[in-house]
Every structure is written in C-alpha cells, then in structure tokens.
Structure 1
C-alpha cells in the first residue's frame, strides 16, 4: 500500500512539474503577430527585391509576394521621436534590401530591410504603405514614418530569397 501511495505522489508531482514547466515555456514565447495586422498590405500580385549589396534585382508575379505579409512583426523597434535614437537598432545598421509589393490596383507597398554587423542573426524591417512625411506638433520634419518598424530573424530573408532564386537570372 505504501508503494502505491508513494508512487502516486511521485507521479502526481511529475505531472504538476511538467504542466508548470510547459505553461512557463508557453508564457515565455511572445505571440506571433503578422505584419498584415499592423499594415494594410493588401494582397500583392507581384514582388520586386533589390539587393544593394549584391546589385541584384528580382521581379516576378507570384504568390511569393504574400510571404512578407505573414512575417512576425510583434517585436517593434520604435522608441519614439523624443528618444535619442527613435528606432532601437545598432548605429551601423545599413539599408540592404528593398522589397516592393505591387497590388492589383497599381498601388505599391514596400519594406526596407537593414542589416548590422553586430546582430547577424536579425534584421531591421521598416514597412510602408504610403509615403507620407511625418512631422511633430511644431512642424519639424522627421521623414517618412513606417506603419511598422520591427526586428525579423535573418532566416526570413534567407527563406524569401531562396524562394525567388529560380527566377534570379
């Protein structure tokens, strides 16, 4: 009888620890929020990717143009205009790729991707739906403001570029 009782207590503790550990792991993961939740990207019918480093350009009509809509944009890098640096990115972050998404009505959305030598596993993405200059209450011009500025894992771009590779002449 003691064996059973002790066994049941041990099994019960293991289950409780397992459930707690699983719940903690789930809580630690931030929810995935697609870019299309933040920006009115529409349903692009074509995509153009320009790589400033490699001097390449790929343009094609394909559903691959939908891929950026589903990128996780939950990790905002926006700090605000009053911050010493409005966007949380390394000082050496430099523009690498421009992604144009063309909609059936002729309008265009674009995403600018920056890379940094200090953070090779992530890139900094700025998504734009319209090119509207931003100003503060005093009328000071800050340039075009993205609908979302966020961090993406480097593999997002790697995956997108691999999907476009067959058409990259």
Structure 2
C-alpha cells in the first residue's frame, strides 16, 4: 500500500500526508516529498514529529491553525490554511495545507492533505510589508522634518527681510 502511495504522490507537486481524526492528528502516511520539503527523510520526519502534526507545527500557529480549520469545517469538509513547520535544521518553514476530510465506510474520519511550500512567498510578503512600513515611516519623518525646518527658516527669512528693509530705510 505504501509503495503505491509513493508512486502516486511522486507525481504530485508538494507533499501529501494522511492523518487520523484524533487529538494530535497522528500521521497514517507521509510522502517523501513532504518530509524532504522540511529537510527530513520520512523516518526522520516521523521521529522528529512524534508521528503527528502537533509535534512539528509551530506552537504559535498550532492553536490558531486548528481553530481556523475547525471554522472552515463548519462550512465544508475541507480547509486551506498556512502555518509554520519545524525543519530538520531547526528553522521554520511556512507551508500551505489543503485538507479534505474523508469519511470511511466504518465511520472513521481521515484527513488527506496536500502540502505546498509557501515559505518563499510568505517571507517575501513579510519583507514587502516591512519595506512598506519603513517607507511610510521615512515619508512621515521627512514630511515632519520639512515642516519643522521650513517654519524656522521662514522666520529667519522674515527677519532678514525686515533687516534689509531697515538698512535700506536708514540709507535714505
């Protein structure tokens, strides 16, 4: 069964995971592509994650991601969320998780997920937002400085004009 899944998933962009509908969303299957996306072999991935998404997802994203997924489940049997996963080197990578809830004939629920690497896109978005904020701060600073410099300069220019007029008046 695993060999057949490996053959099928090797042709799909991104990675695949199948998990149980339990408290920790324990893995039933993880594709080589999914593990490699985070720098692991499948065996290393299973060990590092303790066999569940809870063991490898970023703690800050886990609670909000599960809440968002449950909210999306209220409308349909699928969700699409983005969260961070721990890579083998200890860094965090943004992934996009497309889940479909499947109801087995025996009544059990499985989650079948397509996992896409969104790290580069999210990082560039964060950098762009930071750059926009920095540019807005620079613009506001220059605007204030321009105003703060203009006011005293206008006063100095006015005093010089008064002095010039006074000197011209004294000469006549």
For the superposition of Structure 1 and Structure 2, which TM-score range results when normalised by the shorter chain? Answer: 0.3 to 0.5
Instruction: Name the one with the larger helix percent.
Output: 2
More strand by share: 1
Select the structure of larger CA radius of gyration.
2
Query: Which structure is higher in RCO with an 8 Å CA cutoff and minimum separation 6?
Result: 1
Q: TM-score, normalised by structure 1?
A: 0.32
